[in-house]
A and B are shown apart, each in its own frame.
Chain A
Amino acid sequence: MSSLTSNLLKHADTPTGREEAWRFTPLKRLAGLHDRETDVVDQPSLFQKSGDQAGFSLKLVAADSVPPISTTDDVIVERIRESVARVTLLEINRNSEVSQPITFNRKNSIDKELSRTVIRAGANSKATVIIENTGGSLIGEEIEIILDSGATLNFVTLQEWENTTVHLARHHAIVGRDATFNSITVSVGGSVVRILPTVEYTGPGASAELLGVYFATDGQHLEHRIHVDHGVPHAKSRVNYKGALAGNQARSVWIGDVFIRAIAEGTDTYELNRNLLLTDGARADSVPNLEIETGEIIGAGHASTTGRFDDEQLFYLMSRGIASEEARRLVIRGFFSEIIGKIGDEIIEERLMSRIDNDLAKVGA
């Protein structure tokens, strides 16, 4: 189907910035990744770092053998599908429980690159996949994640890039009957990070939890565009993204689109985005969208808050002798710990918290 549709569908034009999907993104800073005139290389850069064990297989395969399952109108994803010849394929065997996290990191190339990854969690499997993105890169990335019935997949992506990186990505989960997709997206590094964490369901009883944390300092643009498509009855989604911004031209964009189709009776969804503005000169956009075609649902809600630092918390901590900078650090760590604490790996959690501490100290927030 996909080879047909890619021939039939008109190519998405190079975005101009007037499109709804691109109006927040600084196109000039994308190094041409979005522009078909710019050359890119097909060079798989994702490698397994640790977690060798039974229960899964990892291969580099020809793109023809794993055609895309989901449709998209995203120009980056289209370019990736057109140009990438080799795909990283991770398959979790059905019925197997992979006890240690399967961890990947990137070998950075100096070229602009496009990367496609497919993760398939077999029926009733259980696994955790962690992707650590570090270094300097200019990368367009598509990850499709297919959960067969009854599978549970914990999916963690860590954007710990250097602050020169441009990272444009779509992480799309296709969640099957009674399957559970738990994701945590952490974006603390990069010049421009634009991730589309998207979900569709293929069977009732499916559940997706999309958690995220971002911390933007001087000049960073961190954008997360969530889309959850409830196209089956009795599926559940929870979205919770927390962001903090500090420093001049620190910028975040959070879009939370949840679509409940007429057929999706019994849907249970809630999405939440909280932003903390730590200094002047930072800007957070937060746009939750809920579109509902049926009233026969369990629940649908959203909340979005953007606020300044809570002076009462600061006063309380300082009244116990804790100095102002230390008090702020505690409050910020506390704010993020609700989500970072769920990664379940103390080394990673502390590494992220230290980076946030350091960034905070650098901007003097």
Chain B
Amino acid sequence: MSSLVIKNLRVGVETDSGLTEILKGVDLTVNSGETHAIMGPNGSGKSTLAYSIAGHPKYTIMGGTVTLDGVDVLEMSVDERAKAGLFLAMQYPVEVPGVSVSNFLRTAATALRGEAPKIRTWVGEVKAAMTKLNMDPAFSERSVNEGFSGGEKKRHEILQLELLKPKIAILDETDSGLDVDALRIVSEGVNRVKAESNIGVLLITHYTRILRYIKPDFVHVFANGHIVEEGGAELADKLEENGYAEYIKS
């Protein structure tokens, strides 16, 4: 049982006019086995929340705390956060030319497990996970994210989720740029990992359609840098109907 606890988190970015506050006090707790959806209009700060938890150097913590099972996450380096059990599936996965997917996955697994996975079982593990995500085995010889289609990038993120088995996964707009089939495959992947290892999921999305495949236990509406409304899955239906208009005015 793990808990990611975010308390009064305030985050800014450096702009020409100095440090600009984007997250204005976020409170949120994600426990193992729970799925939280964070929904909100563009520019509300949803992605900033995801990247701040993962430790992207662009963001400055201005106040508040983030802990995983009581341990201060904000003090950790980016790789330490991953080792502690956090995973961020990115909206725009980064291309790393010349580094093959297989080399990347094995290096990451070695780092997270503390020892290199046994080559025979590892190859089988990767192959099985790729098959489940409907990925061509030749994929593993390509450079990380280089020349991947939008769908391939997202599948590759979920492949990592399956292999790296975090405690808490943050999925940042994983549904964007996916057609219906890819959305279903990717969602099934998330549900599979959840069923197998009871991870906590923080699902960040603009649209409700992914929630048809991944059922949220909690829905949080995000606007202007903080959570403005919370509820169960039914809140998503309301958003589907009415949009974000009522939350944007301020």
Asked if B214 is at the interface of the complex by the 8 Å CB criterion, the answer is no
Asked if B192 CB lies within 8 Å of chain A CBs, one says no
**Quick one: which of A311, A326, A335, A336 contacts B57, CB cutoff 8 A?**
A311
A7 interfacial contact with B, CB 8 Å: no
The docked-state distance in angstroms from the alpha carbon of A312 to that of B96 is 9
In this complex, the member of B54, B94, B95 whose beta carbon has the largest number of chain A beta carbons within 10 angstroms is B94
Q: Which residue of B lies closest to A341 (CB)?
A: B98
Contact with A along B21-64 (1 / 0, CB 8 A): 00000000000000000000000000000000011110000000
* Any B CB within 8 A of the CB of A26: no
Looking at the assembled complex, report how far the CB atom of B140 sits from the nearest CB atom of chain A, in whole angstroms.
15
Across-interface contacts of A324 in B (CB, < 8 A): 77, 79
Q: Which of B79, B99, B104 contacts A318 (CB 8 A)?
A: B79
Q: Are A331 and B88 in contact (CB under 8 A)?
A: no
B108 and A330 contact, CB distance less than 8 A: no
Q: Is the CB of A336 within 8 A of B98?
A: yes
**Would you call A330 and B99 a contact (CB within 8 A)?**
yes
Q: Which of A302-333 contact B (CB under 8 A)?
A: 310-313, 315-324, 326-327, 330-331, 333
Interface residue? A99 (CB, 8 A)? no
- Assembled-state Cα–Cα distance A310/B82 (Å): 20
Q: How many residues of A contact B (CB 8 A)?
A: 25
Known contacts A326-B107, A330-B104, A334-B143; is A318 also within 8 Å of B96 by CB?
Answer: no
B164 within 8 A of A: yes
In the complex, the chain B residue whose C-beta lies closest to that of A339 is: B98
Judge if A338 is at the interface, Cβ distance under 8 Å. Answer: yes
The docked-state distance in angstroms from the alpha carbon of A315 to that of B186 is: 23
Knowing A315-B56, A316-B90 are in contact, say whether A322-B99 is a contact too (CB < 8 A).
no
- Could you tell me if B79 and A321 are in contact, using CB atoms closer than 8 angstroms? yes
Does A164 sit at the interface, judged by CB under 8 A?
no
Query: For the complex, is B5 an interface residue (Cβ under 8 Å from A)?
Result: no
- Contact of A318 with B77 in the complex, beta carbons under 8 Å: yes
* B94 A320 Cβ-Cβ under 8 A: no
- Least Cβ–Cβ distance between A334 and chain B, in angstroms: 3
CA distance A310 to B56 in the complex (A): 13
What sequence of 0s and 1s flags, for each residue 329-365 of chain A, a beta carbon within 8 Å of any chain B beta carbon?
0110111111001000000000000000000000000
A341–B99 Cα gap in the complex (Å)?
12
Report A-chain residues with C-beta under 8 Å of the C-beta of B56. Answer: 315
Contact with A along B56-100 (1 / 0, CB 8 A): 110000000000000000000111011100011010011111110
- Cα distance A152–B88 when bound, in Å? 49
What's the Cα separation between A318 and B86 when bound, in Å?
12
Contact (Cβ within 8 A) A331 B77: no
Complex Cα distance A321/B103, Å?
A: 14
Does B211 make an interface contact (CB < 8 A)? no
Known: A330-B107, A334-B143. A323 touches B79 (CB 8 A): yes
Instruction: Tell me the nearest residue of chain A to B81, going by C-beta.
Output: A319
Pick 18 A–B contacts, CB within 8 A, sort by A. Answer: A312-B94, A313-B94, A315-B54, A315-B57, A315-B78, A316-B93, A318-B82, A319-B81, A320-B111, A320-B164, A323-B79, A324-B79, A326-B107, A326-B111, A330-B107, A333-B98, A334-B96, A335-B97
Q: Which are the 4 A-B pairs with shortest beta-carbon distances? A: A334-B98, A321-B82, A320-B108, A318-B78
Measured CB to CB, the residues of A under 8 A from B are: 310-313, 315-324, 326-327, 330-331, 333-338, 341
* Inter-chain pairs besides A334-B96, A334-B143, 19 sampled, C-beta below 8 Å: A310-B94, A313-B96, A315-B57, A315-B94, A318-B77, A318-B79, A319-B55, A319-B82, A319-B90, A320-B111, A320-B112, A321-B79, A323-B111, A324-B77, A331-B96, A334-B97, A334-B98, A337-B98, A341-B98
